[in-house]
Structure 1
Amino acid sequence: MPANPLPLTAPGAEDFRAWHRVQSAALAHDLPGEPVPAQDAVQARLTTPAPGSRLVLWLVRGSGSDPVATAALRLFSHPDRSEHAEVEMTVHPAHRRMGAGSRLLSTVTEAARAAGCRSMTTEVAAGTSGERFLVNRSFTPVVRLTWLRLALDEVPEPIRKLPDVPHAGYRLTAWDGAVPDALAAGYARARQATAGGPAGAARSGDAAWDETRLRERARVVERRGERLLTVAAVCEADGAVAGFTELVLPAGLPGRARQHDTAVLPEHRGNGLGLWLKAAMLRRVGADHPRITEIETGTADDNRHMLAVNTALGFRPRRRTVTFRLDLHRR
C-alpha cells in the first residue's frame, strides 16, 4: 500500500533518482521507442520552473520505499493566470489500478483549490489508461495535439535545396538565447499579438508578453542547460517583427531538438512567411548543430495551416496527446 502523498519540500538526490525511475518506466511503457531524458535534465526542469510560476512536487513511495508515483503542480503568480494550474502526474506501470493515482490526484486537486485555482489542466498520451483515468474523474478534453518528428536526413530534397529566397518587404534575422535589445520591443509585441493560438483553449488567461518576460524565459532555458534558438521575419517598411519560430536544444536528449512556437502576425499572413521561417531554422540547425539528428514538434489538430507547413517540411506523425481540464469550482 503506497504511503500518503506528501509534498517534497526539500528534495534530495535520492528523491530525484526515484522520480526519474518512475518517469522512465512510464515512458517506456506508454511510449515505447521514445528517448528517456537524463536524470540531470529532469532534475533541472523540476528545480527551475518557468518565469512567473512555482512547482509543488509529490513523490509517493510504496511500503518497501519503492517509488510509486510523482506529481508536479504548477502554480502561477501573474494575476491573469493565478486561477489556473497545470499538473503532470505519473504512476509507475507496476503500481497502476491500485489506488495510488486516485489518492494522488485528490491531494493535488485540493492543493490547487487551496491556492485559489478555479481550473487545472494536464496532458496525457492519447489512447492510454491515463486518458480513461481522467475521463472517469470529470476532466474534459480541450486540446488534441499531434506530435510530429522530422529526421534531418529525411528532409525532402526540395526543402533541403530551398535557397533563402528573398520575400519582398521582409528580411530574416536570428539569435541564440535572449532577444537582442534592438528587437526586444518588437518581438514582445509579436509574441503578445499571437498569444493564445489554437492551444489557447487549454488556458484560462495568459501572462502578457513583455521584454522582461522574454529575458526571464531565456535565462530559465539557459539555467536548465538548454539552448534557445530563434529566427524572425522583420518587416522592412516599419521594422516590426512579422513572424518568428523558436527551437530548443534540450539537455539530456542527445540528438533531438524541440520545436516551440511558430507564428505569423495576422496582417502578414498569406506571404509564405511560416514556411520561410521554419526552412531557415532547419538550415541553421543543420549548419551550426550537426549533432542534432531529429526535431520534434506538437501541433494542435485544429491548426491545419501549421500541420500543412510541417508536412511540407517532412515532419511525420509519431504520437498524439490530449490536454484535459478540470473545473475546480466548489459545488
Structure 2
Amino acid sequence: MEIRSFDVDRASEAELVGYHHLVVASAAVDAPEVLPLSYDTVLGDLRHPHVAFGPTRHWAAWGTDGLVGFARVGFPGAENTHVAMVEITVLPQQRRRGIGTELLQTVQPALRADGRTLLQGWAVVKGGAGDHWAAALGFECVHTGVRQRLVFAETDQSLWEVDPPPGYRLARWVSEAPEELVASYAHAKGAIRDMPAWAVGYQIPDWTAERMRAEEVATRERGIERRVVVAVCEATGAVVGITEVMLYPHRADQALQGDTAVLAAHRGYGLGRCLKAAMARWLVADKPQLKWVNTSSAVSNSHMLRVNRQIGYHIVRTTIVVEHAIADLESAGGTLPSASG
C-alpha cells in the first residue's frame, strides 16, 4: 500500500472515479439510508466541504486494485486554530488491515507543522466501524447527536402553518442581512452557545456584525447560498431568534440546516418552531427542486428535537463527535493499534 497526498484539482479521471467508488461503497455499509450518491455530488462534497472545516487537505491510500482509503483534514481558523478535523474512509472489504490507522499516522506531521493540538472526528455513526476504530485508538466521545431529515413530499405541510407569537414578526433574506438587523442577528446567532452537552473542543465563534459580513462574503465566494429567517421583537426592533439553511451548488435536491437559536429571554413562546416552519414554507415555494432538509441536534436537546418532530422531521441515525489530543497519539512513538480502519 502507498499513501500520498491527493489534489482534487490535479487528480486524473480514474482517481476521481476511484474516490467516488470508495465513498459510495462505504456509505452503503455505514449509512444505508443514504441514497446512492452521484459522481458530481461526491466530487462536489470534496471540493465544497462544510464551512466549519476551513481549508482542507487530502491523502489517499492506494492498493494493487486502486484507491482503498482516504483522509480529509480540515484546518479551521479564528478560535479553532488548535483543531484539526479529520475524516477517514476505508473500503469496507479492506477494513481491519490498519489502513485507517496508517492514514492517521501519515497526516500527523502536517498537523504538527500547522500548530494543531486537538484531533476531531465529526458525524461518526454511533456503533459503526468508525466508532469502534476511534475507541480502540483512545478517542473520547464528547458529543452525541441525531441526524434528522424533513422530506417535503412525505410531510403534511399544514404542520408549517405557524404564526409568530404576539409581539414578534418574521423577516428573511438570502446571503446578506439588512444593515439595520446585522448587529442583532449576529448577537442572536451567538445564542447557539447554550446548546446542551456542548463539551467539544471546537469553539463556537464569537459573532459580531463585522465578522458576520466577512462570513457572508466567504460563503458567497464558495457558491453557497445562505437563507435566513429571523424573529424580530416588535418592541425593540432587534433580532431575537434565527434559523439558517445552506444550499450547496452540487446538491440541488437538498438543504443543510445551519444554526437555529433563540435568545434566552425570548424562549418559551414557540419562536423556534415558527422560524423553522417559515423556512420550510419558503424553501418549498421558492426551490421546487429541493426534496429535503438535513439537520443535526444533540440527543440532550429535547426542545429542538421536539420542534423538529412537530414540523415533520424524522430521525435518520445517531452520530457522535470524537476527539483526541495529538500529543497523546504521538506519545507511543507514533505506533497506534490497528482497529476497524
Q: TM-score, normalised by structure 1?
A: 0.88
Q: Whole-Å Cα distance in 2 between the matches of residues 144 and 278 of structure 1?
A: 22
1:191 counterpart (167, 189, 196): 189
Stretches of structure 2 that go unaligned for 5 or more consecutive residues are: 332-341
Residue 98 in structure 1 maps to residue 97 in structure 2: yes
Q: Whole-Å Cα distance in 1 between the matches of residues 194 and 62 of structure 2?
A: 38
Alignment of 1:1-331 (within 5 A): 2-3=1-2, 5-8=3-6, 11-14=9-12, 15-48=15-48, 50=51, 53-64=54-65, 66-78=66-78, 80-123=79-122, 124-156=124-156, 158-160=158-160, 162-163=161-162, 165-195=163-193, 197-198=195-196, 200-330=198-328, 331=331
1:154, distance to aligned residue in structure 2 (A): 3.1
Contact 1:41–1:251 (Cα < 8 Å) also in 2 = no
Which residue of structure 1 aligns with residue 335 of structure 2?
none
1:68, distance to aligned residue in structure 2 (A): 1.2
Q: Whole-Å Cα distance in 1 between the matches of residues 125 and 31 of structure 2?
A: 8
Tell me the amino acid that sits aligned with residue 286 of structure 1. Answer: V
SS of 1:138 mapped into structure 2: coil
Contact 1:151–1:293 (Cα < 8 Å) also in 2 = yes
Contact 2:188–2:241 (Cα < 8 Å) also in 1 = yes
Stretches of structure 1 that go unaligned for 5 or more consecutive residues are: none
Distance verdict in 2 for CA 1:202–1:8, change over 3 Å: same
Contact 1:141–1:325 (Cα < 8 Å) also in 2 = yes
Q: How many residues align?
A: 325
Percentage of matched positions with identical amino acids = 33
1:238, distance to aligned residue in structure 2 (A): 1.8
SS of 1:200 mapped into structure 2: coil
Contact 1:37–1:252 (Cα < 8 Å) also in 2 = no
Contact 1:41–1:224 (Cα < 8 Å) also in 2 = no
Q: TM-score, normalised by structure 2?
A: 0.86
Q: Whole-Å Cα distance in 2 between the matches of residues 93 and 224 of structure 1?
A: 32
Tell me the amino acid that sits aligned with residue 269 of structure 1. Answer: R
Q: Deviations over 1:287-317 (max 9, x none)?
A: 1112222222111101110001111111111
SS of 1:116 mapped into structure 2: coil
- What is the root-mean-square deviation in Å for CA atoms of aligned residues? 2.4
1:237, distance to aligned residue in structure 2 (A): 1.8
1:212, distance to aligned residue in structure 2 (A): 4.2
